[in-house]
Structure 1
């Protein structure tokens, strides 16, 4: 799994082999079966998790008790509970594998040390955080301003492989639309 992660890192910044060895020393690995949870609401989450292969989804429980998908993390995405990681408070989200998934895990303390000690790691993480903030703003604008067809098109552009691997109801909750509307859009547009 580290080979996938190191390839990802080298693609994002100028890491030396020595830098990558420092990263490798702090990595652990986890395999999840389909439908296996990485995080359950109420857990204390202390890792940064990188998806080498597979697909996870983060979700919260709505007021009606039904799950609402808040994000997907396919290959080469990060997953987990960022809020819980930063605050140290119990998680308010669930994260589960939708298909068999391979993860690289780095504890918060080790991750923080990498950001201090490895300039390429720090620079890349700063860029990644900025991109994530921009993506969050874009998602909020799409949610508020896009009709269902536009939301679906933006979803397919961002996650081209998720439609074939995730249940339609999880995608529908992510897009804030009815399953029948999503099915109609799939049949009409694809």
Structure 2
């Protein structure tokens, strides 16, 4: 597949194209943070649960609210053909993010001895920051995948259709299907970056 300057955007163009997505991700994420901290505080002070149990309960509820925001607002135009796969991956990466967040909280409470409620909140903020970066990268890369779509570019020339590899080029039928799928995903990324210009 030949690449041109238009299909290979600079880092600045890629970041500009992602800025709207980052803002929407932050809005959904902040609503999840509010839910997360509210439930954490209620579990910690109202129900007198241990900090790690409070964190797990709060994070699970926030994961649910965040999925609804991501699926039906931020990534509503992404491929939803395989909802079971999407939900499975979302729960997998959300669970990994929860482990990151809970690990930072557990380290601060049980290793560093920072066990006042405000120290626990500070540790939760630090863990949430690290987990948020992980979640953003994993959600946009693997969970809410973009659909390849043929579009007409700004110069009124149709976007180049990726040509599927022949079995002779790829080596065998399964490899040919894998190569074709990879080319379609790359074409979708190029289209998304071209739209951002």
On whether the aligned pair clears a TM of 0.5, the verdict is no
Between structure 1 and structure 2, the one with the greater Rg is: 2
Greater share of residues in strand: 1
TM-score of the aligned structures, taking structure 1 as reference length: 0.27
Greater share of residues in helix: 2
TM-score of the aligned structures, taking structure 2 as reference length: 0.26
